[in-house]
Structure formats: C-alpha cells, structure tokens
Structure 1
Amino acid sequence: MEASWGSSSAERGWYVSAQQPEESAAAELRPLLGNELHRQGSSGVSFGFSVFNLMNAIMGSGILGLAYVMANTGILGFSFLLLIVALVASYSVHLLLSMCIQTAVTSYEDLGLFAFGLPGKVVVAGTIIIQNIGAMSSYLLIIKTELPAAISEFLTGDYSGSWYLDGQTLLIIICVGIVFPLALLPKIGFLGYTSSLSFFFMVFFALVIIIKKWSIPCPLTLNYIEEFSQISNATDDCKPMLFHFSKESTYAIPTMAFSFLCHTSVLPIYCELQSPSKRRMQNVTNTAIALSFLIYFIAALFGYLTFYDKVESELLQGYSKYLPHDVVVMTVKLCILFAVLLTVPLIHFPARKALTMIFFSNFPFSWIHHALITLALNIIIVLLAIYVPDIKNVFGVIGASTSTCLIFVFPGLFYLKLSREDFLSWKKLGAFVLLISGILVGNFTLVLVILDWTKK
C-alpha cells in the first residue's frame, strides 16, 4: 500500500544511503509497495516480461501522430529528434532509479515530497493528472474520428446524417455506457490484461502500414483524393524529404515526448523485477525504449512514404479515406478501437488516485468521493475530445507541458536537490542540462503551439 502524506518515508526521515548496495535498496522498496510477489517468496518478474510491461506503458496513441511529424521534419530530421528524445527518456529514468535507491520512496509523487515537501508532491500529482487527462482525451479523439468511419465501411448505401455515424453522439454513448461504469469499479485488474493486447495491436498496426504502403499509388489520383479537380502528375509529391521544417514542426518534440513517457511506471516494474538492481532495471528500460523506438520509426517511416505531404495528423484517417473497405485496414482499425476503449478506463485509475491524494488523502475510502472524481474526469475528457479539433493539439500541449516536465524537468530538478554528489560531477551536470533543456524546449514549443492555435 502506498504511503499517505502522513506516513511517507520522506516525513519519517528515512534515507537510504547512496552507498547502500543496489540489491539491498531494491529489497527495501518491495515491501513498501505491498508487493504480494515478494511476500510470497516469488523470484519476481523476469527480464523479458519486465521489458514487455514497460513497452506496454510506453506505446499508445502517440504512434498515430508520428508519421505526421516525419512529414513536417523530414526523414533525417525526424530520426535525429526521435533518437534524442529516446536517449533523454532513458537518461532521465537512470536519474529516477538513482534517486529511488537513495531515498527508498515508492512513487514519482513521493519523490516530489522528498525533494520539496508537500508542495512538490502536489505539483507532481497535478502534472500526472493533466498528463493522464491528455492521454485519455487523445484516445477518445480516436474513437470520435475512427468509429463512425469503421461503421460506415460495413454499410452499403448512403447513411449520411444517421446518429450512428455522428462521432460526438457515439462518443457520449460509449463514455456513458462503457467507460464510466468500468472506471467506477474499485478494482479493475482484468483490464490490465486486456490493455496488454494494445501492444500487440500496435505491432500489428505497424506491419499493416508496411504492407499497405504498396496499395496506395503515388502520385495520388482522382480516385483517392476527391477534393482534387484533376489528376495530379506532380512527381515531386512522391519524393521523400530528408529535412523539412515548417510551423507544423513545432509539434515534433511534444509528440515524441508524449510517445516515450513511461516514467510513472518505472518504479513499480523495478520493484517486481527478478534479481532487482539499478543496472538490471536500466537494461530493461534501454531495451524497452530501443524496441519502442524501432516500432515508432517503422510506423512513421512507412506511413510517411505512403502519403508523403498528404499524411493526416492521425494516421488512421488516411487509410479511412484511401482504402475505405480494405479488410486488413478494417481489422486493424477495429483492433485499435477495442484497445483504446479498454485503455481509457484503466488510465482513470492513476488520475483518480492522484486527485484523491491531493484532496482526500486523510479521509477513508468513500464511494461518493470515488464516483464524483470519476464523473468529473469523464466530463473533462469528453469535453476535450468533443471540442479539440485535432489530435495533434493534444500531443502539442500535453507533450510540451506535462510530458516535458515528467521526462526532462522533474528528474533533473529532483536529482540536483536530492543527490549528495558535487555539483561538478557528471551526473549533476547531466541533470542540470536536462533541467534547463526541458524548461527551454517545453516553454518554447508550448508558446509556438499556442500561437499556431491563435492564428488558426
């Protein structure tokens, strides 16, 4: 059971020395999390399954926006930026693991408490809430845009104007009838198993993108783009760009940061790891990030090479437009919609936990509080999904703000505060660079995203 504010390790003044052996420190972390696996004497989760669990935490809706990012940065520009973000994500996990061993805290929120007291914990919890709200709204945006298209592909004839082809109506029905009841459950462990399917669906999606690259001709003809009044013969439309920068390139780093965020899941996975040590968990992280990088890059590359500058900000929309009745595309679309539908109520839980931690930490469990927080979260994400016109806006704002904080700013700031090393040590200098670059990149891209909104 996670410690409350009144019983946190930080408030008890418990500090595990940085010189303590990693295995001993990891053993201290296990009982703090109430790990049944440890109490029953199990050997823990294997390296391979830990990699899979972390990849499942990393990969999500961000994969649908990366082809659009490549179209606005170029292949080499995209590759460089994606590699930098992946390396930074791995390094920030390294700093988090170092701090977890030194402090024996049990969560990202408790690192904030240990570093800056109660305000630090509230800020971290609030950041996680906003991040999860953004993730849930991005999933609901996919449902709003793709579910009507999926239904229409099974129909013959003109059914335009029907309520079951209206994305907003379907979204409200699904949230009221499925998402809200599932999110209300006090324990929703079975959805953890179904959410694991989303990883396999993402891999399946990447394979379909590769296969379908040769099903859509280039240049795109009148049969594929209805709004063009004549057939395009511009061969330049079919030449990939190595570097390309425009105002839409602003969304590149925020979308990538959104796509690689897994930091709130690292500590629980670490504490369940077989033969836990910082080096072993870092290897798990590096492997998971590297494999996620590979899948992300393949999906973005072949998505871009299919549509070039016509690629949509949400990649599935392109296949809905150009291959509306393709069986394979319809199958992968249904798979992703199913994964999205079951993942949304799952993400409710950490968001509701953080809200409860802020407002009701000293109160016993109450169904009234539980239901009201769940309802409030549901209303917020539905409104965002309805009124935010494009998924890239979610990636842009959430990626530039909360994702940047959780990947760049907080690990660097907390390490500078908690580490006893000399400031000129390599780790502290790296943490300082991470902190400053996160602040600069996050604020700069957020301002550019907001300016892009106002101009539109």
Structure 2
Amino acid sequence: MSISQAVSECTAGDTEGEETTPLLSNGVVPTRAKGASFASSVFNLMNAIMGSGILGLAYAMASTGIIGFCILLLLVSSLASFSIHLLLKLCDQTGINSYEDLGDKALQKPGKFLVGTAILIQNIGAMASYLFILKSELPAAISSLLSPGNTGDAWYDDGRLLLILVTVCVVLPLAILPKIGFLGFTSSLAFFFMLYFAVVVVVKKWSIPCPLPHNVTALPGAFQVISNSSDSECTPRLFIISSKSAYAIPTMAFSFLCHTAILPIYCELDRPSKTRMQNVSNISIGLSFLVYLISALFGYLTFYTHVNSELLLGYDAVMPRDIMVMIVRLAILLSVLLTVPLIHFPARKAVILMLFGGRAFSWLIHISTTVCILMLVLLLAIFVPDIRNVFGIVGSTTSSCLLFVFPGIFYLKISSQPFRSADCIGAALLVVFGCIMGITSFSVIVITWAKGS
C-alpha cells in the first residue's frame, strides 16, 4: 500500500443535483478553492491502494488456487468498498475528516489510541515490506548491471549490508526533513511502475518454459528449481486449501487498505458528496482489482508451484539479465526507496501524538522518534526471512482492523440508524468477518511458524 498526500483542511462545495454533504465547519459552508477533479481523485486513491502487496498476490493464488483466489479477492475488495461506504456516511453525519477522530468520537480516547496504534503498526509493516524488497532485489539489480559473471562473493551481494547503507544514506536524511512534500510525485510514479510490472508479468509468461529448465541456478533468496520438474507441475489448480492459504486473505487486506487516505481525498474532491466519493472509491478499487488479478494470474501461470512469495525474485533464476525485468526491478526499487520516507511521516506523527500530545515542535523529539522508528523497521526487514510473514502478520492484525473491524464498530456506535437497518447489519457482519478472518489467519500463521521451528 502507497501513501497519498493528505490535505489538512476539509470543506464543502456546491453539490447541486447530488447528495448533501455536510463536511462543514460549525454548520457553515466556507468558501473554498476548486478541488481535485473526479479523475484526479481516482488516480490519487489508486496510488494509495497499490503498493508492495502486488508482489505477494501470485503466491496467494498458488496457495488458494485460481478460482479460490478470485473468490477471496472479490470478497475482500467488495468488503473494502462497503467499509469505505460506512466511513463516508460517518463523515457526512459528523463532519469529522480523520480516521483517528472517528475513533475518538466512537470510543473516546481508547478509540483514538487504538486507531493511532493500528495505523502506526500498519505503516511500520508497510515500510518493512518495502525495505525487504530493497534487501532482496538490490543485490540482483546491482549484479546484473555491474558484473554479469558474478559468483555472489562481491560486497554488494549482501542484501543486509546494502539495506543498512541505503537506509542510513538515503532514507534517514529524507525522513528527518520536517516537510517532504517534494517527494509526493513519487506516489504517481509508483502507480505507473505497478502497471508496468503487470505488463511485464503478462509478457514474460510466454518467455519462460514450463517445466522450468533443469540447469537454472537459483540466486540467493530466489526459489530453488526442483530437478525432477514434470509436466504435472504445469497444470494450474483451481482450489487449494493448506496452511499457506492462511496468508492469502491477510495479503489481500494489506493490498486493499487505503482507508486512512479516504477522508483526506474526500476533502479535496471538487464538489464533494458521498455519491461522488463512493464512485471514486468503487472505480479505484475496481481498477486495482483488475491489475492485481492480472499480475497474480500470469505470475502464477508462469511459475506454478515454484512461485516465490516476492514475485520478482522468481525471474532472477530464469532470466537474470533480461532488459524488461531489469527495468521493472529498477523502477520498483526507485519507487520503494522514495516512498518509505512518505510512509514514515504518518507513523512518526502517530507516535508523537500518542506520547507527547500537542507539545510544540522539538527537534530532539522529531529526530529521536524518526531514528527509533527506522531502527525498528530496519531490524524487521533484516531479520524477517520471508515477505509473506510481513503480509500475513500485518494483514491479519492491523489491516483487518482498519479495513473491516473499526469501520463496522464506529458505524454501530456513531450512526443513529436502527440496528435492523441494512447498513447496521452489514457493519455488524463486517466486524464479525474481520475478527474471524484476523484471528484464524493469525493463529494458523503462528502455528505454522511454531511447527517450522
């Protein structure tokens, strides 16, 4: 998931012919400049939706089967759209324009603290997933550019060392800046990089044979090609149920989480109304669904049972110096590198608000919080052995709360509608689904870890 630049104020515009939108300040409609267009808002929300999760969806399909994956992806995307519907209704009813303040309205200070903590953990997980990509992809990218005959002994083949250097020399200086608006354009670039990634996955499906070649040497971190590959491994499976399936829904929840960006984007929408914003979210989720499905399907049909939990790693073993793969790797690495400081900003803000409240700006607090968060994220990226663990744990905990549980609970607490209304019943079911999905997935993942160790 990427970070979309948020606006700081929320006002209302002319909504003639559409649903009334409060978005008021003390009941008064203030004058506002023309906001973002409908198309621009769709683009911004897609930037907020699409991120590192796209690299793990092919593995999710390999763990659930093609039809099983399609059903689950459709279910998660539909529930994401419905939970956005609930948030927008609450925004209209209360005039509140931030997720944390909705938590405060529904559950007082504990609610605000819960939302802030969930956002912090979610952003730490997102940053860890991005740094994990740097750790796994940067050595291969440098090796393919500098030394095609490299045997793996060069210093730049150590992904952990490269990750530390990049974090200290690039990420930390950018994250320490008090304002980082000039990096906002990378969100748009990242979106186009994801589209290019999907195109490359489709094109390379026809370039990689199945069964995979026996003489392929897997690079560090990539899948190991099994020498007795057979044609039976090239038959796609429609339904699969195994312990690996527990990673599927959390990865999807991680991939569709954009709810912290919904209200800010709603605020900057030209002629804001719930109808217009719901259409923005439906189109954004629908287009993201298509990109996710295409990249996951063709990634799975390329590697089948050998698909890696980080899809790009699979191409290293088969075509390490392919031009298209090298370009998409460099593009994603660039977008990841410049997106981490953007994701860091709301995480640091959440920590400072929870620990120091409304205290005036202090460089000591600012720098120490920045360094502590980045050290935690760096340790996670270095020592977590597989990116699916990040998707699984974060997706089954904070992503499920922000995507399913919190919107449902907040709506039930704040809305004045009778409990038997369709939205209240849907909100209750959303909470139940989120709790069951989160607890079940988290439990299976932990049990799998315990058995594996």
User: Pick from 151, 156, 168: which aligns with 1:176?
Assistant: 168
User: Pick from 389, 395, 414: which aligns with 2:410?
Assistant: 414
Q: In the TM superposition, what is the alpha-carbon distance from 1:454 to its structure 2 partner?
A: 1.1
Equivalenced residue count is 433
Deviation digits for residues 58-104 of structure 1, max 9, x if unmatched? 00000000000001111100000000000000000000011111111
Question: Are 1:115 and 1:414, in contact at CA under 8 Å, matched by a contact in 2?
Answer: yes
Q: 1:345 to 1:58 in 2, by over 3 A?
A: same
1:65 aligned counterpart, secondary structure: helix
Q: Distance in 2 between matches of 1:117 and 1:382?
A: 33
Letter in 1 for 2:114: V
In structure 1, what is the equivalent of residue 96 of structure 2?
A: 105
Deviation digits for residues 281-323 of structure 1, max 9, x if unmatched? 0000000000000000000000000000100000000011111
2:212 aligned counterpart, secondary structure: coil
Q: Distance in 1 between matches of 2:244 and 2:321?
A: 30
- Runs of 5+ consecutive residues of structure 2 not aligned to the other structure: 1-6, 11-17, 219-223
**Structure 1 residue 429 corresponds to structure 2 residue 425:** yes
Q: In the TM superposition, what is the alpha-carbon distance from 1:262 to its structure 2 partner?
A: 0.1
Question: Are 2:411 and 2:424, in contact at CA under 8 Å, matched by a contact in 1?
Answer: yes
Question: After superposition, where does 1:239-278 map in structure 2 within 5 Å?
Answer: 239-278=235-274
Letter in 2 for 1:191: L
Letter in 2 for 1:320: D
Q: In the TM superposition, what is the alpha-carbon distance from 1:115 to its structure 2 partner?
A: 0.7
Deviation digits for residues 131-166 of structure 1, max 9, x if unmatched? 000000000000000000111112133352322110
Q: Distance in 1 between matches of 2:418 and 2:323?
A: 60
In structure 1, what is the equivalent of residue 3 of structure 2?
A: none
Question: After superposition, where does 1:193-212 map in structure 2 within 5 Å?
Answer: 193-212=185-204
In structure 2, what is the equivalent of residue 138 of structure 1?
A: 129
Q: Distance in 2 between matches of 1:24 and 1:430?
A: 22
Question: Are 1:113 and 1:119, in contact at CA under 8 Å, matched by a contact in 2?
Answer: yes
1:52 aligned counterpart, secondary structure: helix
Q: In the TM superposition, what is the alpha-carbon distance from 1:23 to its structure 2 partner?
A: 3.9
Q: Distance in 2 between matches of 1:275 and 1:256?
A: 32
In structure 2, what is the equivalent of residue 334 of structure 1?
A: 330
Q: 1:236 to 1:415 in 2, by over 3 A?
A: same
In structure 2, what is the equivalent of residue 216 of structure 1?
A: 208
In structure 1, what is the equivalent of residue 439 of structure 2?
A: 443
**Structure 1 residue 290 corresponds to structure 2 residue 296:** no
Q: Distance in 2 between matches of 1:188 and 1:215?
A: 41
Question: Are 1:30 and 1:272, in contact at CA under 8 Å, matched by a contact in 2?
Answer: no
2:33 aligned counterpart, secondary structure: coil
Identical residues among aligned pairs (%) = 56
Letter in 2 for 1:115: A
Q: In the TM superposition, what is the alpha-carbon distance from 1:230 to its structure 2 partner?
A: 4.6
In structure 1, what is the equivalent of residue 13 of structure 2?
A: none
Q: In the TM superposition, what is the alpha-carbon distance from 1:194 to its structure 2 partner?
A: 1.7
Deviation digits for residues 324-378 of structure 1, max 9, x if unmatched? 0101100100000000000001101110111111111231011111101100110
In structure 1, what is the equivalent of residue 181 of structure 2?
A: 189
Question: Are 1:29 and 1:105, in contact at CA under 8 Å, matched by a contact in 2?
Answer: no
Q: In the TM superposition, what is the alpha-carbon distance from 1:106 to its structure 2 partner?
A: 2.2
Superposition RMSD in Å: 1.9
**Structure 1 residue 123 corresponds to structure 2 residue 114:** yes
1:276 aligned counterpart, secondary structure: coil
Q: 1:83 to 1:228 in 2, by over 3 A?
A: closer
Question: Are 2:201 and 2:298, in contact at CA under 8 Å, matched by a contact in 1?
Answer: yes
In structure 1, what is the equivalent of residue 80 of structure 2?
A: 89
Q: In the TM superposition, what is the alpha-carbon distance from 1:231 to its structure 2 partner?
A: 5.8
Letter in 2 for 1:396: G
Q: Distance in 2 between matches of 1:134 and 1:106?
A: 24
In structure 2, what is the equivalent of residue 6 of structure 1?
A: none
1:401 aligned counterpart, secondary structure: helix
Letter in 2 for 1:201: F
Q: Distance in 1 between matches of 2:343 and 2:38?
A: 25
Judge which range, 212-221 or 131-140, deviates more.
Answer: 212-221
Q: 1:416 to 1:159 in 2, by over 3 A?
A: same
Q: Distance in 2 between matches of 1:53 and 1:431?
A: 26
Q: 1:121 to 1:424 in 2, by over 3 A?
A: same
2:423 aligned counterpart, secondary structure: helix
In structure 2, what is the equivalent of residue 43 of structure 1?
A: 34
Q: In the TM superposition, what is the alpha-carbon distance from 1:2 to its structure 2 partner?
A: 6.2
Taking structure 1 as the reference length, the TM-score comes to 0.92
In structure 2, what is the equivalent of residue 25 of structure 1?
A: 22
Q: 1:29 to 1:432 in 2, by over 3 A?
A: farther
Judge which range, 347-356 or 135-144, deviates more.
Answer: 347-356
Letter in 1 for 2:126: A
Question: Are 1:183 and 1:346, in contact at CA under 8 Å, matched by a contact in 2?
Answer: yes
**Structure 1 residue 387 corresponds to structure 2 residue 380:** no
Q: 1:238 to 1:368 in 2, by over 3 A?
A: same
Taking structure 2 as the reference length, the TM-score comes to 0.92
